[in-house]
Amino acid sequence: MKNIKYIIGIALLTLVIIAGCKEDTYEFGDLIAPSNLVINADIVGMSDSNPNGDGSGEVVITVNADDAITYHIGFNKIDDFAPVNYKVLASGTINQKFTDPGVNTYRISMIAFGPGGVASNLTKDITVRSDYVPDPEVVTAITNDDSKTWVVNKDVPAHFGVGPWGEKSPIWWTAGVDEKLEVAPCFYSTKFTFIKNANGTFKLTVDASADGAFTKTGDLANIPGIPASGDEGCYSEYSGGSTSFNFVPSSSGIAVDATYPSTQIAIKLATNEAYIGYGALQSEYEILEATSDYLYLRVQGTETGNGWWIKMKPVQ
């Protein structure tokens, strides 16, 4: 009898253990793609006499969609085929300042995310006028109000450096004097000529015919002709190119102080046919300092989260 009770007890305990070990199941909610996407763009100062705004370049953008949890938004000129950089909207509204001088058409790209990460997208084109005028002293320092050629200054420490984008200085690494001379001579031999045309427009030409372009490869290269794979180095597949550019207000948003100054002006390249210093960078180069014999730039890399710093000197 005791044995029977013991066996029954063991059986009941086993059932309890099995019931307690039952695997929990989780269910996702409905996966719903956002619908009825809307982009509203209120161009500041737009009127019958100023159809593209008052010249401030400011636009109030509001996005909305049914069943959307969050929004990503990005901007690019209609003729700029570089990848769109998206930012997350804390709300459905953003004040955006478009700074390319003159009247330009921009594309607003919106991605709306619903439950489970299901996304829908929409674009809207707007035409905006900007009357931005850069500091003439900066323009003169870089272009000589005609034409001026620069090279990376291998003779000074920290002529090249990298750090997190958003930092004031290259805290991860900086190059020593002549550091790339043996492994990447093209970094120092390539010439970058900034031209101010008679009509007030600007052009950059790159002469990399001596040793090729200094860049990463594949998707990280932002210039044409570079191989799909390979180490960072000199690539003769790119021997030079040219693009128009503008001086625009810097969009980095990085704070300025006495230790880490900035002109808060940037050189913005129109295409990827040319570059400045390093071929794995994006198209907006913030001008930290510019004098007749010194040019110091900060620019976002093609690798997410990287910022690069470059010091240059004029060709004598």
What confidence tens digit (pLDDT) does each residue in 260-292 have? 999 999 999 988 999 999 999 999 999 999 999
The structural domains of the chain, ordered by start, are 35-130 (2.60.40.10), 136-314 (no CATH)
- Residues of the chain falling short of pLDDT 70: 1-29, 81-82
Question: What are 164-201's pLDDT values in tens digits?
Answer: 999 999 999 999 999 999 999 999 999 999 999 998 89
Task: Give residue 27's pLDDT.
Answer: 58
The DSSP code for 56 is: B
Q: What are phi and psi of 240, to 5 degrees?
A: 150, 170
Closest CA to 183 of 214, 152, 208: 214
Task: Give residue 295's pLDDT.
Answer: 98
